Amino acid sequence: MRVLLVEDDSRIAAEVRSALEEAGYVVDVAREGEDAWFKGDVEDYDAAILDLGLPGMDGIAVLKRWREGGRALPVLILTARGSWVERVEGIDAGADDYLPKPFQMPELLARLRAILRRSAGQASPVISIGSVSLDTRKMAVDVGGRDIGMTSQEYRLLAYLMHHAGRVVTTTEIVDHLYGDDSERAENSVEVFIGRIRRKLGVDLIHTRRGFGYFVEGGEA
């Protein structure tokens, strides 16, 4: 999953980015409002973590411009502002959740998982399709109760496909969400990862739509 982190405090940005990457997310960072708005407008993110107190354009203005431009990515607001009025303003502007500073990193990760689940129409932190279950809290996969050992890249790819079950996902889209801005666009590696995941799962979960990409059953593909 690819996340845009918008935070002008370098210490907080570094700590949050480290925690997100350790949890399996690909993270891009923006430090100013204009840069945040531009990245969120032109790049494809699964979610954004947005600080309100930004230099230049503040977080509320960024969020409003995203929503006015039709950007529907789920947004978790972070702020040191304690006023309930500002919290209401953030929710009304289109935020999906709100976390005041200071915060505990496990809570931030839990809230991020929650807004990602809601955006995908899922109520549980465990995504189950057929005999395959993916636990987004533990970053673990099992098939019929049997634990499947996966590398971080394999887990990210499988998690992305299962979050978007029922939709064909292109190779380019997978590369973007596996590598983010640091991607070397190694599209050939996706086929390798898909092959490894299929062998490890041992079940017919990931399907290929020739000339388009890959999909997991779960709706209309």
**pLDDT tier, 221 (very low <50, low <70, confident <90, very high otherwise):** very low
**pLDDT tier, 120 (very low <50, low <70, confident <90, very high otherwise):** confident
Sheet containing strand 2-6, strands side by side:
26-30, 2-6, 47-51, 75-79, 97-100
The pairs formed by 21-24 with CB atoms below 8 angstroms and a separation of 24 or more are 23/109, 23/139, 24/139, 24/152, 24/155, 24/156, 24/159
d(CA 92, CA 75): 12
d(CA 104, CA 148): 30
Indicate where the chain has its CATH 3.40.50.2300 domain(s): 2-119
Residue 21: other Cβ atoms inside 10 A:
13
**pLDDT tier, 31 (very low <50, low <70, confident <90, very high otherwise):** very high
Mean pLDDT of the 6-30 span? 94
pLDDT digits 0-9 by tens, 141-176: 999 999 999 998 899 899 999 988 989 999 888 888
d(CA 62, CA 53): 11
**Beta partners for 126?**
135
> What's the confidence (pLDDT) of residue 45?
93
**CATH level 2 (architecture), domain 2-119:** 3-Layer(aba) Sandwich (3.40)
**pLDDT tier, 220 (very low <50, low <70, confident <90, very high otherwise):** very low
CA dihedral 55, 62, 125, 194 (to 10 degrees): -100
Phi first, then psi, for residue 153 (nearest 5°) are: -70, -40
pLDDT digits 0-9 by tens, 64-111: 999 999 998 999 998 876 666 777 888 888 899 999 888 999 999 999
pTM over cut 0.85:
no
Task: Select the CATH number that applies to the domain covering 126-216 from these four: 1.10.10.10, 2.40.37.10, 3.30.70.260, 1.10.520.10.
Answer: 1.10.10.10
Indicate where the chain has its CATH 1.10.10.10 domain(s): 126-216
